[in-house]
A and B are shown apart, each in its own frame.
Chain A
């Protein structure tokens, strides 16, 4: 709840951006941030970025490092993700799916993408995390100022990008606990911390399980194998809880969930949010947006974001369907 409160501060400062976006006819908008601070950060590679934060933590004995960081953010929100004219095709068939996507996400912002089935929402999400099925044919993507498209999928993850899959793959033979342990250790290694053995990790993970309301026997099962739709989604959010992320892309985490499960998953996401963390959710339904409240709602159609607004778009969508939206 505390985290949501601080989001609202940011949202008011982004109102100007929103209106400028609406006025933009080409739907590609220019960054209007002028603070030298944020420009400097844009050109800072993520590794150094991370190190700066860590250093701050290490040096500040009196001040809680996060507090000073928040102050910094509220002074001048930083661009986290900047997607410009992104086009992509299916590598095998050559079919163009993304036809010029533009999107800017600042730290601490929650965005939602809605759109008909087949409009390219999942493709967009997967391109962002580097799925080999797709080939980027044009445009740029900066994440924390760094060229995301140059990075391997695992580097993107370690840089702070997380994606919850619409249909997470089952991995027979790999236990959930081993998998999470491996992923968590990759994080720790990257940060220069010693890796955790299975027992130490079990301790850590047991506490995280509560966030998503999951039983410990979940850990002994193989990754997603035989999981119900809802269990798979919870497992995705558990991974988010374990690994953390600066930008979490949540592709239809609400599909296949009953009302209670939706509430669980939505609240789990909220619980994980801090004022710097951002979310990009893909959804068809307003009910998720009632729990995780987005500041921006984008409508995707045929590989492009055709409309951007606030929650009222989703409300309108629920009433009138996509016909009522498309301009």
Chain B
């Protein structure tokens, strides 16, 4: 994919440009004017002022808030982070807050964020830890990384079992020049994806690095737990925003499992998590990625997963997303060599007035790739909104690709909104591709079968609804996690067990 820097493509073809407001140039300039207390965070002077006048005031306000908080923290010294923030700030200038007129957000209503006052996170995560300790516990077997409001909490993390030369930790703690160099390469090669990607780049207080050297196999999956400590009460207009960022670098022949778990904690809290994970898999490398999203019912959750696969590499994703009021996952996989294997299994469920959105894009440009995507989705509440925009593109050079895309939605309430846009584009001519998309209710024959065994209607339905998701949940990597996630989904389907 041509990773066009924002400055070279303007205006971006599909962005909806906001009206021009002269007075916003002022806030913009204040954004990029080095502040007195940010002496070490100097930003290149920008030579793109005409564009600046087109910027979205709401977006700039967020950017400014995020920048303020980071410039006051001690982490600003890292040249890598500085570089990331610069590039991100630059790209923000041409981006506006999405509206329903923008294709990628046509079916996703983000107005509740827009109507909030976005605040940044200021507290030091190490200072307020008590709440999180009880939660994890059950799989002390695996390496654990606890990230609170975007920052690693070392006292809660457990990383002593990792093989030598594997690095997991803050970007600031890298002590090998080689790793630092590798990391720098990718941060410098900033790709402009969308507004939320860039906001994360400005707001990320740190970048957590997972570095797996050549031919190193990390046996136990790395278990990331993300918490939000700074929250507001429901009904308050204030929405604290955190920006966790993780970069996974797997060198040639390396293998690692990554589990990302987003946990909401208290039910009555409001916050916005805008998370980014970049995964770079070298030749023959393997990454098994698990993403579990269980944010609080009033939270906003934006997530970027950007994957780059070199030849003969394998990327497998299992996602179970059930939390948040608004949850959006942008998933992009780029194939940069032949013979890759990509397997995406995702399960979204709406049991409240909530939105679950998956936008995935898998681009195949090289021969003999295997791509398999299955997306399952349950709309169980009258006001639930599910969105799936899944694009698999098999380009001209991607001969002998084996691609399959299947999406199934279980629509349990007629008034729920389902927007499915599966899309398998095939340009190569020697490929084997299959696709299917269905929206249906619980299967009548299956239901009848259970009834004839004396199982009551409510129980029978519930077990079939649950079963719909097990195709994905059964792929979760470890038993204890699978049980935990299954229990969570069961609780959501049956909030008052008899």
Q: Contact: A153 with B452, CB < 8 Å?
A: yes
Q: Contact: A182 with B463, CB < 8 Å?
A: yes
State whether A182 and B459 are in contact (beta carbons under 8 Å apart), knowing that A154-B451, A158-B454, A168-B449 are contacts in the complex.
yes
A173, A178, A223 interface centre (most CB from chain B within 10 Å): A173
A-side residues, CB < 8 A to B, are 129-132, 152-154, 156-158, 162-163, 165, 168-169, 171-174, 178-179, 182-183, 186-187, 190, 223, 239, 243
Number of A-B contacts (CB under 8 A): 77
**Neighbouring A residues of B449 by C-beta, 8 Å:** 165, 168-169, 171, 223
B42 at the interface (CB under 8 A from A): no
* Assembled-state Cα–Cα distance A165/B449 (Å): 9
Q: Contact: A163 with B452, CB < 8 Å?
A: yes
Q: Contact: B448 with A132, CB < 8 Å?
A: yes
Q: Which of B150-158, B230-238, B467-475 has 4 or more CB atoms under 8 Å from chain A? A: B467-475
A-B pairs, 4 with minimum CB distance? A173-B467, A157-B454, A183-B453, A173-B470
Q: Contact: A183 with B471, CB < 8 Å?
A: no
State whether A186 and B468 are in contact (beta carbons under 8 Å apart), knowing that A132-B444, A132-B448, A171-B446 are contacts in the complex.
no
**Neighbouring A residues of B105 by C-beta, 8 Å:** none
- Least Cβ–Cβ distance between A242 and chain B, in angstroms: 9
- Binding site secondary structure of chain B: helix
B466 at the interface (CB under 8 A from A): yes
**Neighbouring B residues of A154 by C-beta, 8 Å:** 451-457, 460
Residue of B nearest to A223 (CB): B449
Q: Which of A165, A168, A173, A186 contacts B455 (CB 8 A)?
A: A186
- Least Cβ–Cβ distance between A204 and chain B, in angstroms: 16
Q: Contact: B454 with A190, CB < 8 Å?
A: yes
**Neighbouring A residues of B450 by C-beta, 8 Å:** 171, 179, 182-183
- Least Cβ–Cβ distance between B128 and chain A, in angstroms: 40
Q: Contact: B446 with A169, CB < 8 Å?
A: yes
* Assembled-state Cα–Cα distance A26/B467 (Å): 49
Beyond the given A171-B446, A172-B470, A182-B463, could you list 7 further A-B residue pairs with CB under 8 A, ordered by the A residue number?
A129-B452, A154-B457, A157-B452, A169-B445, A169-B449, A173-B471, A174-B464
B-side residues, CB < 8 A to A, are 443-446, 448-457, 459-460, 463-464, 466-471
Residue of A nearest to B467 (CB): A173
* Assembled-state Cα–Cα distance A239/B459 (Å): 18
13 contacts between A and B (CB under 8 A): A153-B448, A154-B453, A154-B454, A163-B452, A169-B443, A172-B471, A174-B467, A178-B463, A182-B453, A182-B463, A183-B453, A186-B456, A223-B449
**Neighbouring B residues of A190 by C-beta, 8 Å:** 454
* Assembled-state Cα–Cα distance A129/B446 (Å): 14
* Assembled-state Cα–Cα distance A113/B463 (Å): 34
- Least Cβ–Cβ distance between A319 and chain B, in angstroms: 36
- Least Cβ–Cβ distance between B334 and chain A, in angstroms: 32
State whether A183 and B463 are in contact (beta carbons under 8 Å apart), knowing that A131-B448, A173-B468, A173-B471 are contacts in the complex.
no
**Neighbouring A residues of B469 by C-beta, 8 Å:** 173
Q: Contact: A157 with B448, CB < 8 Å?
A: no
- Least Cβ–Cβ distance between B344 and chain A, in angstroms: 19
State whether A171 and B464 are in contact (beta carbons under 8 Å apart), knowing that A131-B448, A132-B448, A153-B448 are contacts in the complex.
yes
* Assembled-state Cα–Cα distance A243/B455 (Å): 11
* Assembled-state Cα–Cα distance A239/B449 (Å): 12
**Neighbouring A residues of B459 by C-beta, 8 Å:** 182, 186
* Assembled-state Cα–Cα distance A184/B449 (Å): 14
State whether A239 and B453 are in contact (beta carbons under 8 Å apart), knowing that A171-B464, A182-B459, A182-B463 are contacts in the complex.
yes
Q: Which of B451, B454, B457, B470 contacts A243 (CB 8 A)?
A: B454
**Neighbouring B residues of A178 by C-beta, 8 Å:** 463
